[in-house]
Structure formats: C-alpha cells, structure tokens
A = this chain, B = another copy of it.
C-alpha cells in the first residue's frame, strides 16, 4: 500500500477519520487520501499534499454507499396512494401511471433520485425500470455510478417476451461501459411470477453471451410464491436452479418467502441477495431471514427499493432499518452489528454488483468514490463508536462531500454538477403531467 510513496497528488482529502472497510476493517484516526485520475493512490496517516485539497477535519471518510435495489424514476410517484394494499396500489395507481410514462418523465424522475442519492451519500445504485437509456443519461449527467437493467415484463406471452428481451439486450450492450465506465448493465427479468421459465432461460443465455449479470425480484410475496408452487409444484428458487439460471452473477431482491433448502441452493450457486428492509415493512410482505443467509455464506447487500414504496433513498436510514428489522425478527439484539451493516452497504454491496475490484472500500487502486460525513451535530455526540454513530444515529443529511471517480459532486452540501433547482422543477412538472393524464 503506497509502496511508491509520493507526497504530491492531484487531489488530497486531509485530516479526516477514515473507515476503509477493507478486509481488515482498517481505520485511521486522522488520515489522508490521495487521488489521481479518479483512483485512490494513497491512503494513510502520512501528511501528503495535493494540488486540490479538501479539509476533512471533524468528518469521517467512508466508501460511497451502494444501493443494491431500486427503481429510481419512481420518485415521481412518491406519496401517491399511500398506505394501500399492494394489489390496489399497483393496479389502481402505479400501473396506469406507468403506461403513460414517456422518456422525459423517466429522465427527470431519475435525476431527482440521483440528487437525493448524492445528498445522502450514495455513489452507486442498482436500478431496474423502463426507458433505462434515460436513467443512464441522468447518471452520466450528475456523475454517479450505476448498474442498470431494463425491467423485462414477459407476462407469459412469448411474443411480448421476444420484444422485451431485445430491448433489454440492446440497452445492455449499448450502455455497458457508458459514462467513462461508471455505468455497467445487467439484464432485468422482472420476477419469477411475471416471467416464464422459457423466457428466463433465454435471458440466462443472453446474459452469458454478453458477459453480464442478472437483476430480478424473487420470492417477495407469499401469495405469488404459493401460486407458483401450485402451478409448477416446486419453489421458484429450486426451479431456477433446475434450469441452470442461478449463478454468482445473479442478484435477487427480497427473498422473503424461502426455506432452508432454498437458502442452501442460493448459497451453492453464489447468488447475491438485495435486502430492502423499509419496503418489506411498508408493503408488509414479510421479513427475509438475512441472518440465516449470512450464516450460510450468502453475500447480502442493502437496498431502498423504489422511492414510491419507502419513500426515501437515504441509505443511512436503510442501514439502521437493516439492523433493527433483523434484531426484532430474531429476538436478538446482537445480530447484524453496526460494522457488518456498514459493510453490507459498501464492500458487500460491491460484491453483490460484481464491482468489488473497483469500488466498495477505500484502498489504493480502487476508484475514488468517497463520502465525507460531518460528525459535529449534537445528534452524533459523543462519539464512542463510529460504526454505531453512522448506522444508528446519522442520516443522509449529515453527508457533507461526495466524490465519484475522484470528481467532486457534492461539496459542503452544494451540488456541483447539475442545477438542483431546475431538476426539482422539471421533476415536479413531469409528475404533474403524469397525474393529470390519469385523473
């Protein structure tokens, strides 16, 4: 680490506490991070200098948080039709609205989501929705990093499936290294119940061909799982294993209604899980057995799910929820301790996305995706345990500065890459347009 010691860098963050989240969870009480060409080239407690310097005193540097499952453009639907049963919410509100969606709605909705993510310390997110080229443009514009997949709704209609798959593949090919490589793509079959096994086989083949991963919903609703079992006589997880769909590059969101056999199956194939505690609670579909999954060796990351079923994209709040929901579920306050939870939103999340060699920890050679959190507030005082402070007491509002690829996106609470006011106005207008059409 820093073997070829220099003492001058393009950019230096100085005088801050550092949580590296590397394999050894190394920390520095008062450290320095040197950045060149978007890459971390020094990290340690030696005083190094930079052409540009960011003063980190009173702050802690952590790897940018990674949101493992969301639908960013759904910011437009936040607060519409609240506190409803899932079916009513989807059928009476969300689906009719989504039918009217046009590309510019998605662009402004995604950019609004990006603003919120930057402000709350998320530097990378795993997104599945429609018009994903617009999401890619929003991500490029604001300077974030993302893993994007076009949501493929086959609905057991082979002809429809063919069109959907073509759309998903075209998108994935075109955008797989977009925005200086900050964007990676995946294929996004919607869920086990909305896609046939035949379709999923085709998706798997295409993903192998493109060398990319898959991002889908799985076992979120008890109703759909039991309908599936009635129909096919087998649990969806086992069924996916049987068709050789499961692999280390598959990310499954939720996995609430699974048993021991399904957990060992996911483990055996190295499948990654995205855990969305707030949405699981809000939509009241059940609690996933994350502690058992972790014990079995599954890599689990944390996600907010779409902003319409949360209604926040703040990963700090989601980390707290991730810990609390497992503690109450297992009746054990010791499960999912704060440091592990922070790993699940950083390095483990990077593993979920297959990006652990690039991001997820602050180490020499990784991309400089760095978040500085202000520690001065009364609500973060006294500071006894930095992990507990970040996970249980902090919120996204404490984020001061955000860098992605070494580029400063948020500095001392100011967004530098887009006109925040304009984005908010345009998103409000997009949302109004959609609602007017429906009502």
| Contacts from A to B (Cβ < 8 Å) | 75-76, 78-80, 82-86, 89, 112, 115-116, 119-120, 278, 280-284, 286-287, 310-314, 317, 321, 323-325, 327-328, 330-334, 336-338, 376-379, 381-385, 387-389, 392-393, 395-398, 420, 423-424, 427-428, 431-432, 435
Known: A333-B84, A333-B85, A333-B86. A278 touches B116 (CB 8 A): no
CB closest residue in chain B, given A385 = B79
- Closest Cβ–Cβ distance, residue A152 to chain B (whole Å): 26
A119-B378, A381-B428 given; A389·B333 CB < 8 A: no
| Residues of chain B lying within 8 A (CB to CB) of residue A85 | 332-334
Known: A75-B381, A286-B331, A378-B423. 7 other contacts (CB 8 A): A83-B337, A84-B333, A311-B392, A376-B424, A382-B427, A384-B435, A397-B397
Complex partner residue of A282 from B82, B382, B392, CB under 8 angstroms: B392
Copies held by the complex: 2
A427 engages B82 (CB within 8 Å): no
The CA of A77 and the CA of B57, in the complex, are separated in Å by 24
Cβ of A377: which chain B residues have Cβ within 8 Å of it?
116, 119
**Contacts A85-B334, A284-B333, A311-B393 given: A382-B428 contact, CB under 8 Å?**
yes
Verify B333–A283 contact, CB threshold 8 A. Answer: yes
- Ordered nearest first, which 5 A-B pairs have the shortest CB separation? A397-B397, A79-B384, A281-B324, A83-B337, A115-B378
Nearest Cβ in chain B — how far from A84, in angstroms?
Answer: 6
Question: Contacts A378-B115, A397-B395 given: A83-B334 contact, CB under 8 Å?
Answer: yes
- Return A90 CB to nearest CB of chain B, in Å: 12
A328:B287 contact, CB within 8 angstroms: yes
| Chain B: minimal CB distance from A317 (Å) | 7
Bound Cα distance A281, B383 (Å): 22
B-side contacts of A286, CB under 8 Å: 328, 331
Interchain Cβ contacts under 8 Å between A and B, 24 examples = A78-B388, A79-B385, A82-B387, A83-B388, A84-B334, A85-B333, A112-B381, A116-B378, A120-B379, A281-B325, A281-B327, A282-B327, A283-B333, A284-B327, A284-B328, A311-B388, A312-B393, A317-B395, A378-B424, A381-B424, A381-B427, A384-B435, A395-B396, A397-B398
Q: How far is the CA of A385 from the CA of B311 in the complex (A)?
A: 12
- Give the interface centre of A338, A379, A427 by most chain B CB atoms within 10 Å: A379
CB distance from A276 to the nearest CB of B (A): 12
